[in-house]
Amino acid sequence: MKLFKKSAGVVISLALAVIMILPMGVQAADETSIPKITLTVGKGQPTPEYKAEDSDLTLKLNVENQGSVDAKNVKVIPIIEDAANWPFEIEQMNNEVLVGDIPAGQSIEGAAKWEGLKVRSDVESKSYRLDFLISWDDGEKPYQANKYVYVKTTAKPAPEPAPEPEPSPQPDPGDGGSYDGGISNNEPVVAGGGESGNASVPRVIVTGFSTDPGAVNAGGDFKLIVHLKNTSSKTAVSNMLFDLQAPSSGTEAAAEAPAFLPSSGSSSIYLDSIPAGGTRDISIDLNARADLVQKPYSIAMSMRYEDNNAIQYESSSSLAIPVKQSARFEFSDLEIAPEAVAVGEEANITCSLYNTGRIKLYNVKVKFQGEGIDSKEVFLGNVDSGATGSIDGIVTATQESAGDQKFKMVVTYEDESGKVSTAEKEFTMQITPEQLPMDMSQMTDVPAEKGLPVIPIIIGLIVVAAVVVTVFMIRRKKKRIESVEEEDLLDEVDRFTEDE
């Protein structure tokens, strides 16, 4: 069997709980005859980490006899019930390691060792729990205990995704600048009407725009406010008609749907006039489609207007409106193994983060917090839209809790602009007292102190009193009967004497 670190060897951390161990295959003996034997594997060592397809690894387990009796014929056997839960390739049918005898109170470093291990190519990025069966005897009776250790693995890097298409170039800002977006203006052309007496063509341009609210969120309503200016210093314009058309955007069935649609009414806006050199604002209520990708979207705005000689002009401008997508993600149920841990022991907490939004989550980090636990920060990296991130952390119990205490998992992430946000998820875990070695020789039955049985004594006294009263009444009645019979007999004697 092939198990962990490079040939230099890394000792795996496994703090073993002390348990009461009964002989295998025999009836439970007198508790005072059971020796105090405990084993510790990889005490105080950090959790090892491996990558998919790592090879030529060595796993070493430290074995310690903390008892007062020598442990003989010590064996360590990996338990592999499901190959999918074992991160190493299985190349041997029997992976039993014979450690031998361990004197009381002594520890053997690297006593159990497996060499030439290779990590499976399909391992996931998570913590794997490795279970072992440890068996030994004291020269007379056999004993065994199940223990486990955690190791972390990193999956093979996913294939590089196809590069996202570059967003279409946005128009350069026109005269007057813009508000959180881009604008451009085209030269007006004569569309019809009478002869112009003006030496120059009146020009109406978009100097900027704003939105209410300031950030346009996909799926939300907003008001678009466009700022206009008549650049002619001599000619006023009137009878103005504006029409706004958003580009089609989307995929599959939604490919032909405009990115923005009027919330109510039409996409046309009428304005009576703008004096020479004057400015005006027009506005329209729009809705941004919910499935828009986070990027700027352009709106084409056509214009028709007349000068004071009824000469008609046509012109157009375009606006680039940035659309933002809110981060949306969900967590699967947290899996905690084991659900209850003793102080000083570790628990493995895993769950999945599903990025259900349309934006990428950057620099995702996870931390487990709460009174009575300690953990290291877990770094997930970037999670693409529609992808799943695997959260896999190990917490160490540091303080006993009262029942199922609440803790929380805190997730931090960044958006494209570097803004940091957090999300939390609560969970419960039971922390039991630290399990210390148990001295079986001191376990004797101590009889509990017995007080006077008050209630039985009272009942007994009542019964005795009832018996005494009953005897007294019987004797008294008997005496009365004897007295009456004696008087009757005397009367008979007197009558007999008188008759004579």
Burial of 473 (0-12, 13-18, 19+ CB in 10 A): exposed
Helix (H) or strand (E) holding 455: helix 454-499
Q: pLDDT tens digits, residue range 20-38?
A: 333 444 344 444 444 455 5
pLDDT of residue 144: 83
Over the Cα atoms of the chain, what is R_g? 46
pTM of the model: 0.48
Rounded to whole angstroms, the Cα distance separating 430 from 155 reads 31
Write the pLDDT tens digit of every residue in 249-279.
654 444 467 888 888 778 889 999 999 999 9
pLDDT tens sequence across 401-454: 877 788 999 999 998 878 899 999 999 988 888 875 544 444 445 454 455 555
Query: What is the model's pLDDT at position 99?
Result: 85
The sign of the CA dihedral 38, 42, 45, 49 is negative
Query: Residue 39 and residue 61: Cα distance in Å, rounded?
Result: 11
Nearest 5°: the CA angle 474, 475, 476 is 90
pLDDT for 271: 92
